[in-house]
């Protein structure tokens, strides 16, 4: 994974051009989900006689199906944003995804020695609903035996 850093200066468009993947306009080439960590210190640009500061821009379109972006703020806090394609996801789906991610992060912080397969991303109520309630498919079936009076009565009319 760390070997990928040696290629970070290569422009994405140049990589796509070189790889020339078969194009399907329903999604972006190569990958559909991007996770970005911007931990490079932001330096203050100065121009004599002017005060210069960066102004965050709101994303208006998504370049990928999902983009999870982490920025380290000046006070060294981790800020996160999730940008998504509204043609693929509705707001409630994204809200659930973020809640599950937050649950997983809490689990990582409290159970750092556990294998990742032992961590829960669902809340207890979601786990109950999905794993227990939705799988409660037991049903009561009649205990009649073949050849009972019901079967004999209809046997002549339904071969």
The count of domains in the chain is 2
Q: What is the pLDDT of residues 80-112, one digit of tens each?
A: 889 998 989 999 999 999 999 999 999 999 999
The reply to whether 21 falls in a domain is yes
Are residue 79 and residue 26 in the same domain, yes or no?
yes
Last residue of a domain, one of 56, 88, 120: 88
| Cβ partners under 8 Å of residue 101, min gap 6 | 121
Backbone angles phi, psi at 29, to 5 degrees: -70, 155
Question: For the whole model, what pTM was predicted?
Answer: 0.60
d(CA 16, CA 63): 14
- With vertex at residue 86, the alpha carbon angle to CA 57 and CA 81, rounded to the nearest 5 degrees, is 40
Q: What is the pLDDT of residues 12-39, one digit of tens each?
A: 778 778 887 777 777 776 788 888 888 7
Mean pLDDT of the chain: 81
Are residue 81 and residue 97 in the same domain, yes or no?
no
CB 123 within 8 A of CB 95: no
């Amino acid at each position: 994974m760390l070997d990928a850093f040696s290629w970070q200066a290569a422009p994405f468009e140049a990589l796509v051009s070189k790889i020339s993947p078969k194009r399907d306009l329903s999604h972006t080439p190569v990958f559909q989900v991007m996770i970005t960590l911007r931990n490079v210190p932001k330096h203050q640009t100065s121009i004599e006689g002017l005060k210069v500061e960066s102004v965050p821009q709101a994303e208006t379109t998504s370049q990928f199906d999902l983009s999870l972006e982490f920025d380290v703020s000046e006070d060294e806090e981790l800020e996160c944003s999730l940008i998504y394609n509204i043609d693929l996801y509705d707001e409630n789906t994204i809200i659930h995804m973020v809640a599950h991610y937050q649950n997983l992060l809490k689990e990582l912080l409290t159970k750092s020695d556990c294998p990742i397969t032992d961590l829960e991303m669902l809340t207890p109520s979601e786990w109950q609903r999905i794993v227990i309630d939705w799988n409660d498919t037991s049903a009561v079936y009649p205990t009649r035996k073949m050849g009972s009076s019901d079967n004999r009565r209809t046997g002549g009319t339904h071969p």
